Structure 1
Amino acid sequence: MKLVTGTEQEITDLTFQSFVFGAPFSCFLKGDAWNNETNTVGKNTTAWQSVEYSESLGSHYIIHIDEFTFTDKTFQSYKDEFYIDEETEYSELEQSILDRIPTGYEDYSPKQYVSEVVIGDNYSVIDF
């Protein structure tokens, strides 16, 4: 199992970014919505993983997003699915997804974006 390690603050920040790009996009497929204030996702999915501390690692950690199953749909495929034009009024769920798509990474899946760009070489990754 791959773990991402770092300080408590680093891993807490990573957890939030993983949630922003991972969980909401997967929940869209289930017709769910999410609430950033309570970090709760719809009826089928609850909050992203919590930050843990390991004495043996001497570090805080979370499980790497590569260990979880998410859709391989790209950001562009989400855009193509419901983007019509700038004047169209989108549902709250659609607008939230459109707002989260990082410019220049349309050919990435949300999971791939978190794995390669957000985590990338920015964190220590260990096989446990």
Structure 2
Amino acid sequence: MPGNRLDKGLTMESIQKKSSDRPVHRSDRIKQIFALVSMVSFGGSAIFGIVSLFSSGLSSQHQRKPVAAAVSQESLLAAQERGYKTVLQREPQNQTALEGLANVRLGMNNKVGAIEPLEKLVKLNPDRADYKALLGQAKGK
């Protein structure tokens, strides 16, 4: 019987060891599964990003964007020019509108069109050297 107790004690110890090892083993397994899922998710998102990068680079819409941007820049300058002209019809001496109109026309490479507002600005502000310099550049001096 004492041998039985010893056997039972060993058996109890081994059961306790197994039960104490078991949660650690489960948490390790959970950590491994979580790490695997994380790696697969990261890899999938990286692959998706790379594929979308290459597909957008090869698409024809991507190639048309610079043309659309150039057209929109020209239309934006034209709209600004119309706005400044409207202000100057009501207030011919408005220096902000005169300067804006001159800058827009210079931005559109319309040096001849920029001369008139620049001449008005020089008349209104004879002490401003920057207006005189812009007028000289517009006239080609």
Normalising to structure 2: TM-score of the pair? 0.20
Largest Rg, 1 or 2:
2
Name whichever structure is richer in strand by fraction: 1
Normalising to structure 1: TM-score of the pair? 0.21
RCO comparison, higher one (Cα < 8 Å, 6+):
1
